[in-house]
Chain A
Amino acid sequence: MCRARAHYFEASAEDIDMSNKLVLVSQPDQNGVLQKFYLPYDKLVISVGSNTNTHGVDGLDHVHFLKTIADARGIRNHIMDNFEIACLPTTTEEQRRNLLSFVVAGGGPTGVEFASELADMMEEDLTPYVPPLLQSHN
């Protein structure tokens, strides 16, 4: 970026005034007060990506999205936690079934790839290492 003599602002674009070629930019300052300024442009490239579509469903704080590295890590930790709890001798069979019920909402490319990877993970990586006590339940 230095070589290209580019400027970098860590801030949010709030609005675009196309007739005057200005971008309204905002960012909280050190006191947490929102500061706004206009940034002029000759050419503007919008490449802000996209948000996850909630479809207006309630309770989405209980679900995992699959967009960032943090999301992926969160999912893996959650799977492993559930598995560890399921392996405890104090867990009932019904609790175990519920813990190990994995639901993917959305049958697009992301959901389908995730579901098949998850099934492979269960089959090949996890169930062979389940304590013998539980395997005898089959």
Chain B
Amino acid sequence: MRDQVSVHIVQSQSHILNTYDEKISKYAEKKFCNDKINVITNARVSKVEKDKIYYTLQGADGKVTEHVLPAGLIVWSTGVTLNPITQTVKNQLIHVQKNRHALETDSHLRVLGAPMGDVYAVGDCATVQNNLAGHIVDFLRAADCEVGKDPEKTELTFDEWRRVAGKIKRKFPQAASHLKRLDKIFYESDCDHSGTSFSKYPY
């Protein structure tokens, strides 16, 4: 009877687990291939009936075709959306809140756009907005100004960078492991122990 049992996954993107690393996604697809789980990608569910599921497939040529799959059981796990109350809050702060699936907060979990420090959001209804890359220039500028250097044309010594890193870590605790890795890379590349071997990598 095993050959009469079938498990299907209908996925709208071109791969399953597409939000994760490509390796994970590939591994899962290979495993499912071995386990005889039928993965249908690039498929959008259009309609559900009691014992059938209708979906459209977009082929490589961009042509859309309709398909039907018999279904004894359908499990719907296509992600989450906002609660009515979260939606209400988002609408009030619409000029700041742009995420469609959750309220955006800063790294201290304060809701962006709300009066500072009054309203916090945690859990599934929230997402931490940590735009570190956007802040990195500010951090470096501030570090240069502190020691009285011209921010436009200066090199940071490693010790100065460590001070900046400490500040980044305080503001973005999630960055700690990446900063640690940066330290390691630095020690590896600083072969003459001059403390400034970042010049090896021209920006």
Chain A interface (Cβ within 8 Å of chain B)? Answer: 12-16, 18-19, 21, 41-55, 57-60, 62-66, 75, 78-79, 82, 86, 93, 96-112, 114-116, 118-119, 122-123, 127, 130, 134-135, 137-138
Contacts and interface: CB of A to CB of B under 8 A. Distances in A.
A108 B78 CA distance: 7
Interface of B: 1-13, 15-20, 28, 31-32, 35-37, 39, 41, 45-51, 53, 69-83, 85-86, 88-89, 92, 101-103, 111, 114-115, 117-126
The 10 lowest CB-CB distance pairs between A and B, nearest first, are A107-B11, A107-B16, A106-B78, A59-B48, A50-B80, A110-B77, A53-B81, A111-B77, A50-B124, A46-B121
A18 B92 contact: yes
Contacts of A75: 73, 75
Task: Tell me whether chain A's interface is mostly helix, strand or loop, or mixed.
Answer: mixed
A26 to B, nearest CB: 11
Residue among B2, B10, B101 with most chain A CB within 10 A: B2
B48 to A, nearest CB: 4
A115 B9 contact: yes
A47 B10 contact: no
Contact of A106 (B51, B73, B76, B103): B76
B34 to A, nearest CB: 10
A21 B119 CA distance: 9
Contact of A49 (B7, B53, B83): B83
Contact of B35 (A41, A53, A64, A119): A119
Contacts of B82: 50-51
Contacts of B77: 65-66, 104-106, 108, 110-111, 114
B8 A104 contact: yes
Contacts of A66: 75-77
Given A97-B4, A123-B2, A107 B75 contact: no
Contacts of B76: 52, 54, 60, 63-66, 105-106
A107 B46 CA distance: 16
A122 B181 CA distance: 44
A11 to B, nearest CB: 12
A92 B88 CA distance: 52
23 contacts: A43-B118, A46-B85, A46-B86, A46-B89, A46-B122, A50-B80, A62-B48, A62-B50, A63-B75, A82-B73, A86-B1, A101-B6, A103-B73, A104-B75, A105-B53, A111-B9, A111-B11, A112-B28, A114-B77, A115-B37, A123-B2, A123-B35, A134-B1
Given A107-B18, A112-B28, A138 B3 contact: yes
A23 to B, nearest CB: 9
Contacts of A41: 118
Contacts of B39: 107
Contacts of A99: 72
B119 A15 contact: no
B47 to A, nearest CB: 5
Contact of A15 (B9, B88, B118): B88
Nearest to B48: A59
